[in-house]
Structure 1
Amino acid sequence: MKLLILGAGGIGGLFGGRLAQTGADVTFLVREKRKAQLASDGLRIESQFGNACLPVQARLQSEIEPRYDLVLLTCKAYDLPSAVQAIRPAMSPTTAVLPLLNGIAHIETLNAEFGKQRVMGGTARVQVTLTPDGLIKQLNDWQTVTFGEQDGSTSDRAATLKALLDKTVVEAKLSGNIMRELWLKLVHLSTVAGMTCLMRGNLGEIIRTPEGSDLLIKFFEANAEIAARAGHRPDDKFVNTYRDLFQQRDSRYEASMLRDLEKGGQIESEQILGFMLRQCRAAGLPDALHLAAYTHAKTFEQRRDAGRLPRPQA
């Protein structure tokens, strides 16, 4: 299987690097600066699962040909339009796309662009960042990728990718109901992103306030009900896992959206918080918490775009 990974940032660099370590045929589609960085320093990973520094194949868009079996999309959801344009030269009539993006709306966009039969669904559960000097730094002790075909079938391409990932330290799960998996991740992500951004703190900092845990659970249960109204009711094990998480006073877990916000960067406000607000209203459920989280994020974007964010102190 010939794999093309869009970008060599956090998630793409980590998963692609682990595949490259096993000898898989992996190419990274990158910009000129990242290509030069990879040529000079190699792909560098710092992780409790093992550090790595390895040479990898990196290409610019102008150097890409339609010879790949699978394209892995690991961009931010707000970059989807430019990502679609970037991978067009790689797309043969049989090339599949596996997006590991946050949210759900991107699936319909990719279906319209490339055809539903060529689009898989997937989620990544990992905390990782790309430092300014090009180091891929893992921030947690779990790394799971879950993927599958939209129709629930077990295709040859899915089985082949699973076999490749099984040779790495990454936990790979093949799902027979990937759309449900996407909804469950969105329930979790929209809760954590909405609350950690709104409160400007990690879960533990929120939970240690007088009623922070109750607020987290209330927002989580509202998101779980939205998923249920969409036909994907979370099971008891899933619900109890997150109820327990939202009572862990020493938790340092925070959404990547909070880190992006605190850096004054782009955030997935529409793809996560805006999407869930619209779904909440479509389901006829109370929307006060969703409206607060979404409006907070959009207000931040107003200040960011106007150049009115406070400058970091030296």
Structure 2
Amino acid sequence: MRTLIVGAGAIGGFFGSRLIAAGRDVTFLARENRAESLRRDGLRIAGRLPAGGPDAVETFSGIRAISVGDHDSFDLVLLAVKSYALHGVIDDIAPFIGPETTILPLLNGLKHIDTLAERYGQEAVVGGLCVASSQLLGDGTVRLLLPGTSMTYGELDGSVGERIRAVDETLRVPNRDGAEYTAKLSEHILADMWVKWVFLASGGAVTTLMGGPVGRVAATPTGPETARAIVEECAAVAAASGYPLSERVVDAAIERVTEQGSRFTTSMYRDLEEGRPIEVESVIGDLVDRGSALGVPTPLLGACYARLCVYANALP
């Protein structure tokens, strides 16, 4: 499949490199300066690479990179942007979407599914999620911070037909370079997305609302019970939405945000600390809205949402 990756940052750049290494037909859609840099200097991936250790750098040359205003046709469009950037790119990708194009978003939360379906039709969109700890450095290098990267995708109705099998064949590539990348076709992608959302939202809410890593929260008199209550609010919204989480999953989410001595933080907390934009609406706000619509009380999530909105509204 001819694949367009929208966004050549920490997520799009890394997953794109895995596909390029396997000989897949990949093009990046990026801002003009990033696209020019990719064409000129190639795509550089650092960390967790073959012999050479964690500081090794692999460079992929001959990168195809285009910008807004170009026109071409693609079989698969992989959206790898932050959720707050979706409204900025949803029209930009129109010239690349044909009647047979599949759109696979790797955004957090679920709100983007409806947004994309409204613009391009429900039939064009499949579900997806990814797990990757990576960052885009100032020189354009993508650094993989932790092992265990993965991408999961599937039809929203759980069917397994010719289209999603073609997507799977494209994304499931040999893992021969030590990057520990896996791709998985799921028959219950919406449930999978809810699980990730609960983990993401609960961790983000605990660390941003209480202002520190999990271990510091857990060391306070009421920190553990507050963290547990945040997880329970998230899980209650999921259950009321038709996607109840198993007891094992809920317990794992609680353990993650109540562990004594843990240095665990979240990308949302780090973005907050460093003055960067945050995914407040897709990760926290949408959960609060869904809870309200379903009659599920979310007082702690609501407090977190208010705190993050104050922060976001003050950004330049």
The alignment's TM-score, normalised by the length of structure 2, stands at 0.90
8 Å CA contact 2:35–2:66 kept in 1: the answer is yes
| Cα distance between partner residues in 1 of 2:93 and 2:313 | 31
* 2:104 alignment partner in structure 1: 98
8 Å CA contact 1:61–1:89 kept in 2: the answer is no
* 2:66 alignment partner in structure 1: 59
RMSD: 1.7
* 1:109 alignment partner in structure 2: 115
| AA of the residue aligned to 1:28 | F
1:266 corresponds to 2:277: yes
| Cα distance between partner residues in 2 of 1:206 and 1:257 | 16
| Cα distance between partner residues in 1 of 2:29 and 2:111 | 24
| AA of the residue aligned to 1:212 | G
Query: How big is each residue's C-alpha offset from its partner over 1:17-61, in whole Å with a ceiling of 9 and x where there is no partner?
Result: 111111111100111110222133311112325542111211123
Alignment of structure 1 residues 1-314 onto 2, 5 Å: 1-50=1-50, 51-55=57-61, 56-66=63-73, 68-163=74-169, 164-168=171-175, 169-305=180-316
Moved beyond 4 Å, runs of 4+? none
Structure 1 residue runs without a partner (length 5+): 306-314
| Cα distance between partner residues in 2 of 1:212 and 1:81 | 36
| Cα distance between partner residues in 2 of 1:199 and 1:134 | 33
Query: How big is each residue's C-alpha offset from its partner over 1:196-241, in whole Å with a ceiling of 9 and x where there is no partner?
Result: 1122322233223343233222210111111001100001221222
- Offset at residue 153 of structure 1 (A): 1.0
**Distance change in 2, residues 1:14/1:283 (3 Å):** same
SS in 2 for 1:150: coil
| Cα distance between partner residues in 1 of 2:99 and 2:229 | 46
SS in 2 for 1:123: strand
Query: How big is each residue's C-alpha offset from its partner over 1:157-187, in whole Å with a ceiling of 9 and x where there is no partner?
Result: 3223323323234111211111111212111
SS in 1 for 2:90: helix
| Cα distance between partner residues in 1 of 2:128 and 2:297 | 30
| AA of the residue aligned to 2:88 | S
| Cα distance between partner residues in 2 of 1:59 and 1:69 | 16
Identity of aligned residues (%): 36
- Offset at residue 250 of structure 1 (A): 4.3
- Offset at residue 147 of structure 1 (A): 0.7
8 Å CA contact 2:126–2:155 kept in 1: the answer is yes
| AA of the residue aligned to 2:234 | N
| AA of the residue aligned to 2:287 | M
- Offset at residue 99 of structure 1 (A): 0.4
SS in 1 for 2:103: strand
Query: How big is each residue's C-alpha offset from its partner over 1:260-285, in whole Å with a ceiling of 9 and x where there is no partner?
Result: 22222221111121111112222323
- Offset at residue 92 of structure 1 (A): 1.2
| Cα distance between partner residues in 1 of 2:78 and 2:187 | 19
**Distance change in 2, residues 1:116/1:302 (3 Å):** closer
**Distance change in 2, residues 1:251/1:25 (3 Å):** farther
| Cα distance between partner residues in 1 of 2:30 and 2:187 | 32
With 150-159 and 208-217 compared, the bigger mean Cα shift is at 208-217
Query: How big is each residue's C-alpha offset from its partner over 1:81-124, in whole Å with a ceiling of 9 and x where there is no partner?
Result: 22111211111111110000111111111111111111001111
SS in 1 for 2:158: coil
| Cα distance between partner residues in 2 of 1:161 and 1:47 | 27
**Distance change in 2, residues 1:254/1:73 (3 Å):** same
SS in 2 for 1:227: helix
The alignment's TM-score, normalised by the length of structure 1, stands at 0.91
**Distance change in 2, residues 1:303/1:125 (3 Å):** same
Count residues in correspondence. Answer: 304
8 Å CA contact 1:122–1:146 kept in 2: the answer is yes
